[in-house]
Amino acid sequence: MSYVIPIWTPPALPVVGASDIFPVRRIFCVGRNYVEHQKEMGASGREQPFFFIKSEHALVPNGGEVHYPAKTSNYHYETELVVAIGKGGRRIPAAKATEYVYGYAVGLDMTRRDLQQVGKDHGRPWDFGKNFDEAAPCSALVPAAKIGHPAKGAIWLQVNGKERQKADLADMIWSVPEQIAYLSDYYTLEAGDVIFAGTPAGVGPVKPGDELHAHIDGVGDLKVKVVPAL
């Protein structure tokens, strides 16, 4: 059997210290998962976690040049820990969740904030604000076998050399194991799924020419340059 149109290869992330790559199946993203960011987005309290999904085709492996997206005038960065699922499962207890993690990376949950706001204002989906071309730059993965499961450590972003976000992974409202447990109650998680684990406060706009440098202690770095729209 062959296909009637050319078949594509699955989006994938490089792995630090390996020649083999990690195929990406789905991209789950958690919303409002750091207290100070929750406040800047106008919410408070330990609400239940909520998620949205980006297409794996939004992935920009290793960062590099990212085009200013279409139909927005308020294009934002959100710096996030990325969790790569290495083994599938459902109803995973938080106490066992790290057994399902292959590794970690540094990601940017790029957002068309104005289009996301339209969705919020009208009770419509967030897809146009969150899931678009090149919306998920992500560094190489570092295997948990090498670094363990980071629950604390600095996470920061510089834009053109100036600090814009800075927090600690320990500031997450829902920990990575809790996120995996919650998601796996609603979805059968599969090897290749990744989770963007939420952004700290300080989100803001970027424009063509801006250079972003995201960092997480012990995990790595991600550099992105915004270039003019296609």
Closer to Mn ion by Cβ: residue 34 or 100: 34
3-state secondary structure of 122: helix
Picking from 177, 20, 34, the residue whose alpha carbon sits closest to that of residue 100 is: 177
Question: Nearer to Mn ion by C-beta: 109 or 193?
Answer: 109
- CB nearer to Mn ion: give 29 or 181: 29
Phi-psi region of 120 (alpha: psi -120 to 50; beta: other; left: phi over 0): alpha
Q: SS3 helix, strand, coil % of the chain, rounded to 5?
A: 20, 35, 45
Is 28 buried (19+), middle (13-18) or exposed (0-12) by CB count in 10 A? buried
Q: Which is nearer to Mn ion, 15 or 33 (CB)?
A: 33
Min dist CB 109 to Mn ion, Å, is 3
Minimum CB–partner distance for residue 47 and Mn ion (Å): 15
Quote the least distance from Cβ 165 to Mn ion, whole Å: 11
CA atoms within 13 A on the CB side of 56: 15
Collapse the DSSP code of 59 into the 3-class scheme (helix H, G, I; strand E, B; otherwise coil) and give the result.
Answer: strand
Q: How far apart are CA 212 and CA 230, in angstroms?
A: 19
Closer residue to Mn ion in complex, CB, 15/139: 139
Closer residue to Mn ion (CB): 46 or 91:
46
Residues at the site binding Mn ion, with contacts judged by CB under 5 A = 78, 109, 199
Name the minimum Å distance from CB 75 to Mn ion.
14
DSSP string, 125-143: -SHHHHSSTT-EEE--BEE
Q: How far, in Å, CA of 178 to CA of 191, rounded?
A: 18
CB of 103 to Mn ion, least distance (A): 20
Residue 158 burial by CB count (10 A; 0-12/13-18/19+): exposed, middle or buried? middle
CB of residue 193 to Mn ion, shortest distance in Å = 16
